[in-house]
Amino acid sequence: MTIRISELPPWDRSQLLDSQVWVDTKLGVDDRGHDRVLAAFAAPDADPATPPVAGAELAPLWTALRSVPRGMDLVINVDQPGEVLIESDEIDPVLGGDRATASILSFRQRARWGARWVLAHRGPTGRFFGTLAGREGRQALPLWTDPDTAEQMAPPGATVAQAYLLDVLAGGDEVDYALDPASPEGIYVDTKLRAEILATEPLFVAGYFTQLGMLDAAEYTEFFEAGALAVAEARGSGRPLAGLWVVGYQIEDAPSRVVFVVDVENLDEAADFVVDAINRQPRRPERTETVRLQDLSSESQEFVRLSPDLASS
């Protein structure tokens, strides 16, 4: 039975788009006599130097779809069990826009990179430094994911600093960013890709698979303690919160964030209570968000209310 990518659940579709495939450089022909691109699923440890057929190229399915000529379908494992057909008119919607300008990274990869810790070099003044010659005459700030490599590559007088990639990219677009520049898995973040990765920062980003989840109070003790403290501080100031819930949020399969949902009119005021409560925890929680209950969809509001309301205790 042929599987159509547009019929897959979002989670399965994201996983499929990151799958490695062998793309045959010779076009096939369908039963209507139309040209189509043929591909085959590759093993996780596939070696690009040993293709199953001469000339086949190894690439993530996302990358392969960006190169499919208009008017052609792409078929994976043709005439085999589990055949996947991606019709030409499905490709642009699956990629989130015109394939000619689609991101070089899939939705899942952008979400993963945005949530990652990276390492950069800081100079004596505390500013990042040590740029490399980048593309199109721009400079590129090198960033690493491996501590040993970052230490080895540090210029004299530099220290290694850790930060979330999203926070680094938010610092400005005066330079590009070279992630793991000496590694085959490294990527170059130009102005376009920077904006695409930064777009994963807000909650419930269009085009991405996102979900809320329950948190175990015993495992996330400091977050629930911060929530209870925020409720107490707001009540003590004469500006009580009508509700406060602590839930998890995940975009694609990136590491989850913790979200404080507040039932309040003034979000900024409530966020101040939450941030202050977080900063007073012995082990400061990271990557948190504060949102108003009213700003969530009705389905998300129903889910949030299943979690304990710290303002009612």
Contact 247, 210 (CB under 8 A): no
Distance CA 61, CA 90 (A): 14
The candidate with the shortest Cα–Cα distance to 211, out of 146, 309, 304, 118, is: 304
3-state secondary structure 281-305: CCCCCCCEEEEEHHHCCHHHHHHHC
* Ordered DSSP codes for 96-142: TS-TTT--SS-HHHHHHHHT-EEEEEE-TTSSB---EE-STT-EEEE
Contact 74, 19 (CB under 8 A): no
Using 50, 70 and 90 to split pLDDT, how confident is the model at 131?
A: confident
Using 50, 70 and 90 to split pLDDT, how confident is the model at 114?
A: very high
Give the pLDDT mean for 72-101: 93
The candidate with the shortest Cα–Cα distance to 191, out of 205, 174, 203, is: 174
Distance CA 258, CA 220 (A): 9
pLDDT digits (tens, 9 = 90+) for 20-77: 999 998 988 887 888 999 999 999 899 999 999 989 999 999 999 999 999 999 999 9
Spatial neighbors of 230 by CB under 8 A, at least 6 apart, are 241, 244, 260, 270, 273, 274, 276, 277
Number of C-beta neighbours around residue 32 at 10 A: 6
pLDDT digits (tens, 9 = 90+) for 242-279: 999 999 999 999 999 999 999 999 999 999 999 999 99
What domains are there in the chain, each with its CATH number? 3-102 (no CATH), 110-198 (3.40.1350.90), 210-312 (3.30.460)
Position 135 scores a pLDDT of 93
Contact 138, 176 (CB under 8 A): yes
DSSP state, residue 256: P
Position 1 scores a pLDDT of 63
Tokens representing 7 are 């019929």
pLDDT digits (tens, 9 = 90+) for 171-204: 888 999 999 998 888 999 999 999 999 999 999 9
Distance CA 77, CA 255 (A): 32
Position 34 scores a pLDDT of 86
Spatial neighbors of 247 by CB under 8 A, at least 6 apart, are 212, 213, 214, 215, 258, 259, 261, 303, 304, 307
* Ordered DSSP codes for 205-232: -TTS-EEEE---TTTTHHHHHHHHHHHH
The candidate with the shortest Cα–Cα distance to 29, out of 73, 69, 62, is: 73
* Ordered DSSP codes for 10-46: HHHHHHHHTSEEEEPSS-EE-TTS-EEEEEEE--TT-
